[in-house]
Amino acid sequence: MLRKLTAEMIGTAWLVLGGCGSAVLAAAFPALGIGFVGVAFAFGLTVLTMAYAIGHVSGCHLNPAVSIGLWAGGRFKASELPGYIAAQVIGGLVGAAVLYVIASGKAGFDVHAGFASNGYGAHSPGGYTLAAAFVCEVAMTFAFLFVILGSTHGNAPRGFAPIAIGLGLTLIHLISIPVTNTSVNPARSTAPALFAGGWAIDQLWLFWVAPVIGAVLAGIVYRWVGGPNPDETEVSGDR
């Protein structure tokens, strides 16, 4: 279990450093900024690369909503949820801390400007309402877990799950960055919010509640749609 939790911590740190780092450091870089598309691919690539690196160790959840969704789908033990969620949140904070040290090395950096935090209303990149943000996060997380549960099912083609999951997360970001800056991951949301403070912490509740709801719904629905899973190793979270 210690190896699993360490892997989850390192993997989530990489997700926050790579994904949020692309948004903070490179998205609007003068003349050569990568923009929303670049940030979307950065998040997808963090998951894809870590899935191959630690998928065989911890299952590469990197996300409390994923762990909870896998539990709802019958793929993960409830007894392991607290440890996984704690490791993911701590890993996210480590990634955000590294990013903060790097970003603060540039004159004029202001962590309170947002630091890639998720938000709605005045803090949504596109000015979307609380209701729109809530529906978006539920729907996007539902889709993310549906892809995860399907691509890791015992009857699915072997070895391709990381690609489907990474590209799925990329697509989700392409859709929803303008709405909420895209969470679908409470650990990813918590890390930058604790550094940015203020409004980011005030709005953080949504980026726990909505992803968890979407994940649980996906777990329940896919458990019926996908049918019995012949790969019993998934039940212990080993994939």
Break the chain into its structural domains and give their ranges.
2-236
Q: Residues of the chain with pLDDT > 70: what percent?
A: 96
Write out pLDDT tens, residues 140-168.
999 999 999 999 998 899 889 999 999 99
For the cut 90, the answer to whether the pLDDT of residue 30 exceeds it is no
DSSP state letters, 101-131: HHHTTSTT--GGG-TT----GGGSTT---HH
Give pLDDT, residue 88.
98
Q: Sign of the C-alpha dihedral, residues 112, 115, 121, 122?
A: positive
> The pTM is what?
0.93
For the cut 60, the answer to whether the pLDDT of residue 238 exceeds it is no
Q: Which CATH architecture has domain 2-236?
A: Up-down Bundle (1.20)
